[in-house]
Amino acid sequence: MRQITWSRASGKGRKKLEHLRRSKQTGEVPTSTATWGDSCGTRAHPAPVTQGDAVRAAILIETWGSSMDPLQRPELQILLEEAARRAPELLPCLANELEQRGVSLDWSVTNDCRANFGRYALDSALEVLVKETRNEQVALSLLSIGQGSGQGDTSQLDADPLMRAAAAQGMTRLVERLVKDCGASVNSKDPRFGSTALDRAVDAGKEQTALKLLQLGADPFAGRGVGYILARAGPEVRAQLPTTSVAREEVPTDLSEADFEQLRQRLPKISERMVLQELQSKRLSKVQLAQLLQEAARLGFRPRLLEHLCEGLERQQVPLNWDQASVLDAAFARRPLDAALETAVEENPDARAAVWLLDEGIKNSNGRKSRLNANPLLRTAASRCQVPLIERLVEINADPNAPDPRYGSTALDRAVSAGCTGAALTLLSLGADPDAGHGALADGTIQTVKETLSLKEEATNRPWL
């Protein structure tokens, strides 16, 4: 469970923290009255807290309560990320509160990011809106807020991976904005898997986004190549590809493109049993199976469906392991198991799905996991409070002290930044060094190192599971 925590909390601050934590854990809606107005600096209009989202109510009370102390930047950053998940209407006010404390919201190289673990003020909230909640309109608004702050500079915005993630979600307007206004390279490739935004859009069945990328200059040869795109794209996209490209590979399948897309759209709305019944008599191509596996990876924990799809891929000789000797099938930009596992870690709140996929790959790897890049998965799991996955990744030799190559933050930094007390304590018990990375605990973001280490005994009770 994600816990919102306060940096340098003491006295009244600790009481506020405990009040907010209880509201999240019990679902109890506080009976206080939050005073806030249409503009963030106005507190003249009382707004009674009614039955509803306890987290939203707690944010209102803790942020704009008339009798509360002003929040500091680390506290506001945590609330900003939580608001992106649960109450996006609060984002403009939280952003304004940050600006009032002298924090520039743009992506200028001159901005001091040390108080936010090396990240710019809106980075985490933008990633949540694109990868988790998939709220394109709010992501566009938040991007406008950043461009309207400070120098309006986007030179340090990590626009390329954000554009690829947006393409995979079918966020056509955001993709165009990132390319035209923020300098994203339309042909940039994922450093791990070599896929471009066009590959990701076609892989996810986002035809309109793929067409927009082609209009923006996407090169179908830049990533996995035209053959890869032809194996997935619909007729509109295929019509835009070079006529000299190879013919589309014919794959045996009982589902037309339209029927398969309908199945993908219905997948979150029907039960695991109904999906299995529908798939039982259907013959799917390996590309379709891989796409369904990635969809299933984000939809709670459906072990029988995951097993059915993995067995189908194995019957078509698609390797589901991390053995150095296994060869990547030319039909895929990345290994289907890698894509599904990363999706489960980044988007699925149920850690059991990611643990299942991880164990499936290990089982098929004969003990050789040389292709598994576990450290980025560990940092992401830490930021999402996924304690069982953290334990499993460290067990297979993920390094809890490995820093992010861009921001320098470790898994412990990520857990602390996200307010994941349970994840932070688990990492400490597994050997994470508080002085590695940004020295997160030394800054008191949860509490002092001494206080945190004294809580390690609580880890044996696992109260957060």
CA distances from 173 to 135, 160, 186, 215 (A): 12, 15, 14, 13
Name, of 152-156, 216-220, 390-394, the range with top average pLDDT.
390-394
Q: Residue holding tokens 């924990």?
A: 301
Share of the chain above pLDDT 70, in %: 71
- CATH number of the domain encompassing residue 304: 1.25.40.20
HSE of 243 in the Cβ direction (CA atoms, 13 Å)? 0
Phi, then psi, of 47 in degrees rounded to 5? -125, 100
Q: What is the mean pLDDT of residues 392-419?
A: 86
Specify if 450 maps to a domain. Answer: yes
Q: Residue holding tokens 């150095």?
A: 324
pLDDT score recorded for residue 293: 92
pLDDT score recorded for residue 70: 67
Which string of DSSP letters, residue by residue, matches 396-443?
A: TT--TTPPPTTT---HHHHHHHTT-HHHHHHHHHTT--TTSTT-GGGG
Residue-wise pLDDT tens digits, 328-370:
665 566 778 888 998 899 888 899 999 999 988 888 876 555 5
For the question of whether the overall pTM of this predicted structure is more than 0.85, the answer is: no
Residue 155 scores a pLDDT above 80 = yes
The SS3 of residue 387 is helix
Specify if 237 maps to a domain. Answer: no
Specify if 305 maps to a domain. Answer: yes
Q: Is 233 exposed, middle or buried (0-12, 13-18, 19+ CB in 10 A)?
A: buried
Specify if 100 maps to a domain. Answer: no
pLDDT score recorded for residue 286: 85
Q: Residue holding tokens 């005073």?
A: 35
Which amino acid would we find at residue 169?
A: Q
Name, of 10-14, 155-159, 318-322, 325-329, the range with top average pLDDT.
155-159
Specify if 400 maps to a domain. Answer: yes
Specify if 405 maps to a domain. Answer: yes
Which string of DSSP letters, residue by residue, matches 200-254?
A: HHHHTT-HHHHHHHHHTT--TTSSS-HHHHHTT--HHHHHHS-TTSPPPPP---S
Residue-wise pLDDT tens digits, 10-23:
343 344 444 444 44
* Residues whose CB falls within 8 Å of the CB of residue 221, separated by 6 or more in sequence, listed in order: none
Q: Give CB contacts under 8 A, 24+ apart, made by 115-118.
A: 115/73, 115/74, 116/73, 116/74, 116/77, 116/417, 117/407, 117/409, 117/413, 117/414, 117/417, 117/437, 117/438, 117/440, 118/404, 118/407, 118/408, 118/409, 118/438
Specify if 317 maps to a domain. Answer: yes
Q: Give CB contacts under 8 A, 24+ apart, made by 308-314.
A: 308/276, 308/279, 310/337, 310/360, 312/284, 312/286, 313/286, 313/289
Using alpha carbons, select from 430, 426, 405, 407 the residue that is nearest to residue 415.
426
Cα separation, 165 vs 305, whole angstroms: 25
Q: What is the mean pLDDT of residues 418-422?
A: 85
Cα separation, 393 vs 197, whole angstroms: 28
Domain residues for 440?
284-461
Structure token pair of residue 271: 């039960």
CB 60, CB 31: distance < 8 Å: no
How many domains, the chain? Answer: 1
Residue-wise pLDDT tens digits, 39-65:
344 333 333 323 344 455 455 545 444
pLDDT score recorded for residue 462: 43
Q: Residue holding tokens 């992010």?
A: 404
Residue-wise pLDDT tens digits, 283-308:
888 888 888 998 899 888 999 999 99
More confident residue, 376 or 34: 376
Residue-wise pLDDT tens digits, 88-142:
888 888 888 888 888 889 998 888 776 666 788 899 899 999 988 899 999 999 9
pLDDT score recorded for residue 136: 94
Cα separation, 340 vs 194, whole angstroms: 16
The full length of the chain comes to 465
Specify if 320 maps to a domain. Answer: yes
Q: What is the dihedral of CA 158, 194, 299, 322, to 10 degrees?
A: -120
